[in-house]
Structure 1
Amino acid sequence: MDPDWYSAWREEAFEQLNAKNDHLNREFRLGTWPRYDYDLKAGKLLFSEEGVIKVVSEIQIAGSTSAKADNWLWAWANSNLPGELLGDAKLVRSFGEENAIQELAQAYVIDTENDLEALGWELTGAMVRICKALGAYRSPRGEGGGLYLVIKTIGWAS
């Protein structure tokens, strides 16, 4: 059983994430660039147009959704991801353990609402709030899932 305050806290975190993402979209036009690439070795998310990088951000990985498995997997529990991009996800796990919030402390979260994308955004919102990130970005993956990236810094490419 989660603490009484958690449901409202998570909803507020999601609203804060939406506001932060709206700001990033206005400021850096994140939703409009024809191409994006992420480099998990360098910890960067790049937005470009006609082969020219326009916006550069440093990222951490929140987690991923899988339509096939119908769940969320926290990045800290995925051995295929680079350890240097998991620090914030590990902070979320610690926060979950300290506050007895099961969905933040366990590796997998099952989609009980039948809305996997909403689950991904809500859990990413919790991470953005806990780690004071600037926003987040969802990269589509095969099988209807997504990789959720948390934006730590962002700026125009020089």
Structure 2
Amino acid sequence: MDDHAQHDHSDWEEVVFAARERAHTRQALMVERYGLSGDDVQYHWSMDDARITWSRGGAVFLTGRLTMIGTVSLARQTWLWSWANDALPPAVLGDIERVRRFGEANDYPVLPWPGFDHHPELVAEARMVAASVLDADGLWADSTDDVQLHFLVHDLAPVPEPR
């Protein structure tokens, strides 16, 4: 992308507003529909197979597919898109390239930049637009040491209780 391309900031704000509304609605629905709140809910995710599971009392009750959006290095205070991170397993990348291409096609600079300085609001905007472009069911984040990991959740499937 040409860094000097004409960027229509008001258009970006409209896209972000619509994506934020959609993400908040879907996130609340995901948490409510599947009972993902509460101290008794545990989760486990794997980048190798791009899966997340939720359990209660040791029994898995929900599974989903993950797409890594990107990471925040707390030490360096930087964001790195997953599509620009060669260290990630291919499975967890999903269709994240579509987000980069969407940014290029619409002259939204943040989406095709491999990384940028960490500004919490800008990271939130990027995450929500990614969720909208990839039609995610929800967003998920976790932290390990000095890195925040940001994911999209897709294809949620309840696991029937054993008989």
Provide TM-score, normalisation by structure 1: 0.87
Gaps of 5+ in 2: 1-5
Q: What per-residue deviation string (whole Å, max 9, x for no partner) do you get for residues 35-78 of structure 1?
A: 21101122111111222212111111111112212121111011
Report which of the two has the higher share of helix. 1
Match of 1:27 among 33, 48, 57: 33
Gaps of 5+ in 1: none
Distance 1:121 1:31, change over 3 A: farther
Match of 1:57 among 55, 59, 64: 64
Find the aligned partners of 1:45 and 1:69 in 2 and give their Cα distance.
28
CA drift of 1:88 comes to: 2.3
Find the aligned partners of 1:25 and 1:149 in 2 and give their Cα distance.
15
RMSD between superposed Cα atoms in Å: 1.7
Structure with the greater alpha carbon radius of gyration: 2
- The one-letter code sitting in structure 2 at the alignment partner of 1:92 is V
Q: What per-residue deviation string (whole Å, max 9, x for no partner) do you get for residues 18-37 of structure 1?
A: 11100001001223353211
Find the aligned partners of 1:12 and 1:97 in 2 and give their Cα distance.
19
Question: Is 2:133 the counterpart of 1:130?
Answer: yes
Contact 2:67 2:152 in 1 (8 A): yes
Paired residue total: 153
Provide TM-score, normalisation by structure 2: 0.85
**Hey, what does 1:157 align to over in structure 2?**
159
